């Protein structure tokens, strides 16, 4: 019996042990929680010595809110990276002091006479320079305002996190865009529309009693990439967000964010005067409605004195708006803008409108808003989705960029992966953002990119901005798929400076998030850069769009909506947007219009966006359209397989937890990529009746099988 007892004991111990072990992994510091702010000890002996020699002490004086954030970040960052405590200095009495200050809050900075260098840097810019003070070599982080110092601090820490030399520094940086904003689609019940990473971060139940440290970490993450605004609730807005219960709690968040230079904004429901105020109209020209909003805005500012303003989705997808009352978007936006103006608030008015009355839904935003150019107040900025349709994996830039010279315009990008495999697929979106930002609008001749327009370089905008729809929830790693973090990172960095290169941003992110091992960096970079292309290839190549299921996750080329967008039939495929079709090409400047008018001069990746072509159409490459399309689908799956192989080769070089997580997610991605490819290829083949090229493997299952599969992948879709 004794041996039986022993076995039972060992069995139970083993259960316990594995439980403890599992918990250890889950709470390990490598679970992704720290995002790119890990501050792991520098692994290179020479480098850590160089860093320690240059960083013997820190000198910073002010105790403002933001300066406290600077101090805390430097303390935790440097003690982690250098694995040693750094002395606090009050004067420069040795080599290697880091001095952080503005001419206002630091006598030493004042004495350096940096006026001419600082002047062009505005409120947010900073410089990081090696200087000599009293014969000692020091590093100076200087700015005009405290917030510039916070950005400078994160930038300085990044140098160490990415193993850059700091012996002789001369860095100057300032943002090209004013409003660098993240948008949450969070609902009052804590569901997150298109979120996929758990429930909302904002715990309304505990908020005024408990300040979850996560709120501060959230602010740090954003500030570290230059984000200075957050819209904390869904554009499909719940009116309750502007009632005292919520405002009291939102004020707590705003206090936390303020210490990181982040302004709080709210999405509002245009019918609030009716829904909350008991008025019988929300007509923007009605004096009672106007005064209701003025009072409401005053009340909001009594809770949040530096409140940023409103984001509005109006007359779009069932949301109320001024059109209901026979008024224009400009009249609606200006009414709100005038209530906010005395407090310095702004209105971000979305241009995402479409309806059934247009033959081509993508034309609508342009047709509706361009005639209103010049009618919006100065504190309104039109928030335009990056493409004319939605957040498609690939589409051209919205023709509104460059056609509104007298209306402030900003771009909206999506970080959450609504159309890109939710939190299951690895898709680095940096290249998708730069593709749009670098697109030439020809607004004032060749060389006026979307980025230039957004910067306000082309037209004289009063406000400039970029918004990114992010998805963080209470998932331990914030974003669900660890690589969604990389899109968040690149979005923020591009909002700061849209001329940056997506490959370089990927590298920065990898070094800070995973490893500085050159080989690991190169491999992950390859995976990320291929991921962008693969995601389009196995889903919607050659300019196809919106051929997924209602949940926007899996493929459904046979659905009615998809048929509208791909227009495939026995003869051919693609949406004719030339003169013979919807003539949406007319919304672009002549240079682009001419280029897009002809399939041979249309870039291959936008071919079926602009043209309906026969399956046997000969492409300049010599392939038929059918063959090119099919080959793209197969290439997409091959690319995912390659990503899997490359990742699996990293085993042992990335800590176990994240390695396994991504490995498993890539298996899911492979499964889905095959499903996308086979569904689309088989469906289009049922129309084209063209054979598959000999070297491509025929899908194992039939089209009917894949049609049934559509219902089988359960993906939670949280709608408000
Ligand atoms: O792409 C669509 C999404 C909706 C979203 C809408 C929008 C918030 O499917 O979930 O609603 O865009 O951007 O308003």
pLDDT in tens, 512-532: 999 999 999 999 999 999 999
Tokens representing residue 199 in the block? 């429930």
Maximum pairwise Cα distance, the chain: 91
pLDDT-based confidence at residue 720 (cuts at 50, 70, 90): very low
What is the reported pLDDT for 40? 96
Task: Tell me, in angstroms, the distance from the centre of ligand 1 to residue 663's CA.
Answer: 30
As a whole number, mean pLDDT of residues 178-207 equals: 97
Active site residue 104: no
Q: Is the pLDDT of residue 583 over 90?
A: yes
Torsion of the alpha carbons at 22, 28, 33 and 36, rounded to the nearest 10: -140
Amino acid 24: pLDDT: 32
Residues 707 and 680: their CA atoms lie apart, in Å, by: 10
Taking CA atoms, 615 is separated from 572, 624, 692, in Å, by: 5, 7, 13
Per-residue pLDDT, 712: 75
Q: Determine the distance from the C-alpha atom of residue 218 to the mean position of all C-alpha atoms in its chain, rounded to a whole number.
A: 14
Other beta carbons within 10 angstroms of residue 374's beta carbon come to: 10
**Ligand 1 atom, smallest distance to 469 CA:** 13
Predicted confidence band of residue 62 (pLDDT cuts 50, 70, 90): confident
Q: Compute the C-alpha angle 228/232/235, nearest 5°.
A: 115
pLDDT digit string (tens) for 305-345?
999 999 999 999 999 999 999 999 999 999 999 999 999 99
Cα–Cα nearest to 598, from 580, 582, 622, 573 = 580
Is the distance from CB of 163 to CB of 213 less than 8 angstroms?
no
Euclidean distance between CA atoms 70 and 59, whole angstroms: 12
- Could you identify the residue written with the tokens 């159409």? 617
Count helices and strands in the chain by DSSP H and E runs: 23, 16
Residues within 6 Å of ligand 1 by CB? 185, 193-194, 234-236, 313, 317, 352, 390-391
pLDDT surpassing 90 at residue 561: yes
Mean pLDDT of 351-372: 92
**Close Cβ partners of 465 (under 8 Å, ≥ 6 residues apart):** 177, 178, 179, 180, 181, 348, 381, 383, 408, 410, 411, 454
Q: Which residue of the set 44, 299, 317, 570 is catalytic?
A: 317
Number of CB atoms found within 10 A of residue 412's CB = 24
pLDDT tens for each residue of 63-77: 899 999 999 999 999
Take residue 192 and report the two structure tokens written for it: 């997150």
pLDDT in tens, 296-315: 999 999 999 999 999 999 99
Distance between Cα 429 and ligand 1 center (Å): 18
Of the pLDDT bands very low, low, confident and very high (cuts 50, 70, 90), residue 12 is: very low
> Which residue, by CA, sits nearest to atom 13 of ligand 1?
352
Q: Which residue has the tokens 């026979």?
A: 326
For residue 8, pLDDT over 60 is answered with no
pLDDT-based confidence at 719, cuts 50/70/90?
A: low
Which is the closest atom of ligand 1 to the Cα of 236?
8
Q: Which ranges of 97-139 would DSSP assign to H, the alpha helix? A: 107-111, 115-118
Mean pLDDT of 132-159: 98
Which uninterrupted H or E stretch holds 83?
A: none
Residue matched to tokens 């819209």? 231
CA of 209 to the centre of ligand 1 (A): 33
The proportion of the chain whose per-residue pLDDT surpasses 90, expressed as a percent, equals 92
Total-model pTM = 0.95
Task: Measure 367 CA to ligand 1 centroid, in angstroms.
Answer: 20
Ramachandran angles phi, psi of 507, nearest 5°: -65, -45
Q: How confident is the model at residue 19 (pLDDT cuts 50, 70, 90)?
A: very low
- Return the half-sphere exposure (C-beta side, CA atoms, 13 A cut-off) of residue 577: 31
- Residue-level pLDDT at 534: 98
Which residue among 317, 321, 467 has the greatest number of ligand 1 atoms within 8 angstroms of its CB, and so is best to mutate? Answer: 317
Atom of ligand 1 nearest to the CA of 319: 14
Question: Residue 509 above 90 pLDDT?
Answer: yes
Please give the distance, rounded to the nearest whole angstrom, from the Cα atom of residue 393 to the centre of ligand 1: 14
Task: List pLDDT tens digits, range 418-458.
Answer: 999 999 999 999 999 999 999 999 999 999 999 999 999 99
Q: Which atom of ligand 1 is nearest to the CA of 316?
A: 14
Per-residue pLDDT band at 714 (split at 50, 70, 90): low
What is the reported pLDDT for 123? Answer: 98
Model confidence at 402, pLDDT cuts 50, 70, 90, reads very high
How does residue 710 score in pLDDT terms, banded at 50, 70 and 90?
A: confident
pLDDT tens-digit readout, 88-123: 999 999 999 999 999 999 999 999 999 999 999 999
| Higher-pLDDT residue of 166, 355 | 166
**Is-catalytic flag, 306?**
no
Q: Which long-range contacts (CB under 8 A, 24 or more apart) does 255-259 make?
A: 256/211, 256/215, 256/216, 256/219, 257/215, 257/219, 257/230, 258/65, 258/306, 259/65, 259/66, 259/68, 259/69, 259/216, 259/219
Residue 649: pLDDT above 80? yes
Burial label, 689 (beta-carbon count in 10 A; 0-12, 13-18, 19+) = exposed
Pocket test for ligand 1, best of 352, 422, 718, 720 (most atoms within 8 A of CB): 352
**pLDDT value, residue 10:** 46
Give the model's confidence band at 55: pLDDT under 50 very low, under 70 low, under 90 confident, else very high.
very high
CB contact at 8 A, 487 and 480: no
Residue having the nearest C-alpha atom to atom 1 of ligand 1: 390
For residue 658 the two structure tokens come to: 């994240």
pLDDT for 715: 64
| Interval between CA 600 and ligand 1 midpoint (Å) | 34
Q: Is 317 a catalytic residue?
A: yes
Residue 558 has pLDDT above 60, yes or no: yes
CB 185 within 8 A of CB 469: yes
Q: How far is the CA of 235 from the centre of ligand 1 (A)?
A: 8
The neighbouring-strand residues paired with 445 are 443
Predicted pLDDT at 717: 56
- Centre of ligand 1 to C-alpha 189, Å, is 18
Distances (CA, A) of 552 to 397, 420, 564, 705, 710: 21, 8, 15, 19, 11
Mean pLDDT calculated for residue range 359-376: 96
| Beta bridge partners of residue 613, listed in sequence order | 573
What value does the mean pLDDT of the chain take? Answer: 94
- Among residues 418, 455, 627, 672, the one annotated as catalytic is 418
| Predicted local distance difference test score (pLDDT) of residue 161 | 98
Which residue out of 146, 368, 390, 455 is catalytically annotated?
Answer: 390
Residue 27: pLDDT over 90: no
**Cβ count within 10 A of residue 595:** 17
The distance of Cα 301 from the centroid of its chain, to the nearest Å, equals 28
Residue-wise pLDDT tens digits, 650-708: 999 999 999 999 999 999 999 999 999 999 999 999 999 999 999 999 999 999 999 99
Q: At what angle do helices 65-82 and 146-161 cross, to 10 degrees?
A: 10
pLDDT-based confidence at 357, cuts 50/70/90? Answer: confident
User: Do the Cβ atoms of 169 and 130 come closer than 8 Å?
Assistant: yes
pLDDT band, residue 358 (cuts 50/70/90): confident
Residues 6+ apart with CB under 8 A from 46: none
Given this model, what pLDDT does residue 30 score? 84
Query: For tokens 């013997």, what's the residue?
Result: 56
State pLDDT tens for residues 450-502.
999 999 999 999 999 999 999 999 999 999 999 999 999 999 999 999 999 99
Residue 14 has what pLDDT? Answer: 45
Q: Is the pLDDT of residue 283 over 90?
A: yes
Which pLDDT score, from 0 to 100, does residue 713 have?
A: 66
Closest atom of ligand 1 to CA, residue 194:
10
Atom of ligand 1 nearest to the CA of 391: 1
Cβ pair 319, 269 in contact under 8 A: yes
CA 437 – ligand 1 centroid, Å: 21
Residue 719 alpha carbon, nearest atom of ligand 1: 10
Q: How far is the CA of 250 from the centre of ligand 1 (A)?
A: 23
DSSP H/E element including 136: strand 136-142
Q: Which atom of ligand 1 is nearest to the CA of 552?
A: 9
Q: pLDDT higher for 551 or 649? A: 649
């Amino acid at each position: 019996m004794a041996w039986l007892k022993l076995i039972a004991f060992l069995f139970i111990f083993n259960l316990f042990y594995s439980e403890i072990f599992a918990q250890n992994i889950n709470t390990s510091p490598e679970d992704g929680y720290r995002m790119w702010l890990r501050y792991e000890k520098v692994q290179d002996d020479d480098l850590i010595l160089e860093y320690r020699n240059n960083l013997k002490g820190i000198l910073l004086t002010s105790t403002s809110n933001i300066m406290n954030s600077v101090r805390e970040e430097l303390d935790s960052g440097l003690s982690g990276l250098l694995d040693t405590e750094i002395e606090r200095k009050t004067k420069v009495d040795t080599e290697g002091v880091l001095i952080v200050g503005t001419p206002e809050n630091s006598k030493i900075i004042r004495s350096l006479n940096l006026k001419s260098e600082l002047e062009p840097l505005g409120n947010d810019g900073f410089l990081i320079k090696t200087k000599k003070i009293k014969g000692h070599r020091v590093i100076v982080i200087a700015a005009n305002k405290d917030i510039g110092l916070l950005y400078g601090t994160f930038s300085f820490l990044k140098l160490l996190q990415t193993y850059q030399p700091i012996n002789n520094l001369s860095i100057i940086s300032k943002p090209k865009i004013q409003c660098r904003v993240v948008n949450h689609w969070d609902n009052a019940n804590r569901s997150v529309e298109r979120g996929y990473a758990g429930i909302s971060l904002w715990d309304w139940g505990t908020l005024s009693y408990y300040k979850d440290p996560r709120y501060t970490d959230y602010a740090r993450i954003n500030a570290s990439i230059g984000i200075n605004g957050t819209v904390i609730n869904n554009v499909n807005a719940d009116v309750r967000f502007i009632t005292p219960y919520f405002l009291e709690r939102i004020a707590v968040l705003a206090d936390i964010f303020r210490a990181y230079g982040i302004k709080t904004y709210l999405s509002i429901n245009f019918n609030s005067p009716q829904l909350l105020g008991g008025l019988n109209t929300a007509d923007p020209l009605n004096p009672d409605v106007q005064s209701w909003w003025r009072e409401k805005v005053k009340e909001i500012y009594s809770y949040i004195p530096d409140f940023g303003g409103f984001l509005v989705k109006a007359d779009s997808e069932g949301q109320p708006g001024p059109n209901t009352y026979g008024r224009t978007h400009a009249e609606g936006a200006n009414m709100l803008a005038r209530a906010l103006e005395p407090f310095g608030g702004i209105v971000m008015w979305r241009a995402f409108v479409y309806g059934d009355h247009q033959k081509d839904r993508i034309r609508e935003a342009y047709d509706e808003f361009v005639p209103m150019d010049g009618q919006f107040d100065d504190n309104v900025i039109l928030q335009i989705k990056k493409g004319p349709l939605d957040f498609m994996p690939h589409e051209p830039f919205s023709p509104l960029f460059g056609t509104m010279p007298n209306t402030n315009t900003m771009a909206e990008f999506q970080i959450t992966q609504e159309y890109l495999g939710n939190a299951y697929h690895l898709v680095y979106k940096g290249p998708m953002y730069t593709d749009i930002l670098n697109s030439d609008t020809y607004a004032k001749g060749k060389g006026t990119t979307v980025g230039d327009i957004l910067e306000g370089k082309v037209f004289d905008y009063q406000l400039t901005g970029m918004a990114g729809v992010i998805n963080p929830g209470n998932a331990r790693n914030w974003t669900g798929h660890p690589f969604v973090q990389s899109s968040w990172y690149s979005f923020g960095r591009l909002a700061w400076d849209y001329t940056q290169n997506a490959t370089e941003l990927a590298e920065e992110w990898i070094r800070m998030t995973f490893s500085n091992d050159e080989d690991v960096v190169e491999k992950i970079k390859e995976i990320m850069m291929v991921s962008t292309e693969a995601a389009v290839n196995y889903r919607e190549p050659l300019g196809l769009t919106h051929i997924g299921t209602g949940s926007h996750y899996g493929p459904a080329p046979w659905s009615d909506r998809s048929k509208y967008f791909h227009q495939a039939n026995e003869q051919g495929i693609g949406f004719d947007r030339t003169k013979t079709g919807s003539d949406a090409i007319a919304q672009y400047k002549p240079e682009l219009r001419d280029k897009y008018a002809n399939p041979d001069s249309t870039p291959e990746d936008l071919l079926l966006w602009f043209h309906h072509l026969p399956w046997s159409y000969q492409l300049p490459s010599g392939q038929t359209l059918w063959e090119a399309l099919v080959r793209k689908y197969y290439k997409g799956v091959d690319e995912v397989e390659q990503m899997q192989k490359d990742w699996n080769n990293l085993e042992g070089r990335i800590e176990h937890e994240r390695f396994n997580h991504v490995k498993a997610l890539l298996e899911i991605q492979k499964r889905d990529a095959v499903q996308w490819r086979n569904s689309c290829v088989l469906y289009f083949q049922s129309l084209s009746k063209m054979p598959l090229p000999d070297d491509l493997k025929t899908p194992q299952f039939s089209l009917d099988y894949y049609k049934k599969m559509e219902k089988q992948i359960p993906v939670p879709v949280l709608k408000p």
